[in-house]
Amino acid sequence: MEKIRVLVVDDSAFMRKVVSDILNSDEEIEVVGTAKDGVEAVELTQKLKPDVITMDVEMPRMNGIEAVRKIMEIQPTPVLMLSALTKRGSKETLEALEAGAVDFIPKPSGTISLDIREIGDELIKKVKAVAKARVRRRVSIKPSEESKKKEETPKKEKKVTSGLELDIPPEKLSKMAVMIGSSTGGPPVVTEIVSKLPKNMPPVFIVQHMPGGFTKMFAERLNAESLLTVKEAEDGEIVRPGYAYVAPGGYHMLLKKRGNNVHIVLDSKMPKVHGTKPSVEVTAEYVARIYGGKTVAVMLTGIGRDGAEAYKLIKEKGGKIIAQDKDSCVVFGMPKAVIELGIADAILPPSKIPEAIVKFIKSIYKG
């Protein structure tokens, strides 16, 4: 069997050595080169054509985000970011994912993690998963152009097409729900979908596989792009229409009905489900119980089958299911599991999903 060929990129010689040792300890992986900055990373990617690149974020000459942009432009390759668990680190990681990186893994203790071996097993597992990802060539927009474009777009005039409107009373919307499940390759796709939804929406529950410390920043970035109010879910809060709730990393997002209100319950003690916490399966099961057939559930790119059985429950209760299509997925695991169960009402690329969500909500309202 051919080994997975990896290029390790980090400005710290210690980190390059330890990450290489960890990866080379697995018989299915071979480190074929190392680079100390983004410039070297781009050169070696063209020369060595690795299967996977592990990429540090903060480096001299050219940082990790710029390197990802350049690589996706000239030699598209699956990139796994190694990120610091800080506010700045999480912001940069999400920017790298938007630039085309497939996934990320947090360093246990900052830029130079002397205890990096603690995450050795996870690193090996992620490299093997990322190696299967489908990446596409991208023409990069210069960061200055991108920020200028964003500054010129006032929040209230954003991207929501006139066709995507919901004229449904809030008391009816509060009895419906939208569920979005996503994993590897998901953050840019979730952003694309949520940014196009109208303001007048049922509550939206988002479970994106992501560790603690990153989901808050993800929610803030979504909120800046969306007409909905997007926030990281808080324990005990009342669920409202016009809001989207992102499950926090390290917690399962549960729902509890009290009288006419639905409350969010966050549970950190429950074990991982399908190897992850938050899990789509857990939240979707509560959505099925409370909202039943008045649910539109969307399954996006990701490894494995987290959420498939709970989506089946939603379908059995009369809800509508949308799966992302294979061609647009970075990893076609989670949508494939839903499609194979025969429960998908629509199989679509991300650009068509917002319209389908709105269409299904209208059909649920009309009964």
pLDDT, tens digit, for every residue of 70-90?
A: 999 999 999 999 987 667 778
Catalytic residue among 10, 209, 252, 328: 209
- Distance CA(160)–CA(165), nearest Å, equals 9
Q: Is the pLDDT of residue 157 over 60?
A: no
Q: Could you please report the per-residue DSSP string of 39-65?
A: HHHHHHHHHH--SEEEEESS-SSS-HH
Sheet architecture: strand order including 103-107: 29-35, 4-9, 52-56, 79-84, 103-107
* Residues 187-229 pLDDT 10s: 999 999 999 999 999 999 999 999 888 999 999 999 999 999 9
Which member of 37, 51, 56, 306 is catalytic?
A: 306
pLDDT at position 136 is 85
Q: Which pLDDT value is given to residue 206?
A: 98
Mean pLDDT of 168-192: 95
pLDDT band at 114 (very low <50, low <70, confident <90, very high): low
First to last CA, the chain: 54
Across all residues in the chain, what is the average pLDDT? 90
pLDDT of residue 78: 97
CA angle 149, 329, 195 (to 5 degrees): 35
- Residues 339-366: tens digit of each pLDDT: 999 999 999 999 999 999 999 999 999 8
Q: Which CATH superfamily is domain 155-366 in?
A: Methylesterase CheB, C-terminal domain (3.40.50.180)
Residues in a beta bridge with 321: 297
Q: Is 306 a catalytic site residue? A: yes
Chain centroid to Cα 289, Å, comes to 25
Report whether 5 contacts 48 (CB < 8 A): yes
Q: Are 301 and 334 in contact (CB under 8 A)?
A: yes
Residue 294 has pLDDT above 50, yes or no: yes
User: According to the model, what pLDDT value does residue 119 have?
Assistant: 80
What SS3 state is found at 243?
strand
Q: Distance between CA 97 and CA 95 in Å, rounded?
A: 5
| Four-CA torsion 94, 96, 100, 101, nearest 10 degrees | -90
Q: What's 345's DSSP letter? A: S
Report percent pLDDT > 90 for the chain.
Answer: 79
Cα(85)–Cα(46) distance, integer angstroms: 30
Enumerate residues 6+ apart whose C-beta is below 8 A from 195. Answer: 158, 159, 222, 225, 226
Peptide bond into 78 cis (omega under 30): no
Same fold, 4-130 and 155-366: yes
The phi, psi pair for 80, rounded to 5°, reads -110, 115
Say which residue the tokens 């929610």 belong to: 219
Find out if CATH 3.90.1150.10 is the number for domain 4-130. no
Q: Does position 232 have pLDDT exceeding 60, yes or no?
A: yes
Catalytic residue among 183, 195, 226, 328: 183
pLDDT tens digits along 255-279: 999 999 999 999 999 999 999 999 9
- Is 90 exceeded by the pLDDT of residue 6? yes
Helix (H) or strand (E) holding 13: helix 13-24
Structure-block tokens of residue 238: 């009342």
Is 363 labeled as catalytic in the residue annotation? Answer: no
Q: What is the pLDDT at residue 106?
A: 85
Question: Can you tell me the distance from the alpha carbon of 199 to that of 179, in angstroms, rounded to the nearest whole number?
Answer: 16
Beta strand 177-182 pairing with 295-299: parallel
Can you give the residue ranges of every domain in the chain? 4-130, 155-366
Q: Is the pLDDT of residue 57 over 50?
A: yes
DSSP string, 209-260: ---TTTHHHHHHHHHHH-SSEEEE--TTPBP-TTEEEEPPTTSEEEEEEETT
pLDDT on residue 313 = 98
pLDDT computed for residue 158 by the predictor? 46
209 belongs to the catalytic site:
yes
Between CA 192 and CA 196, with CA 193 as vertex, the angle to 5 degrees is 90
The answer, yes or no, to whether residue 305 has pLDDT greater than 90, is yes
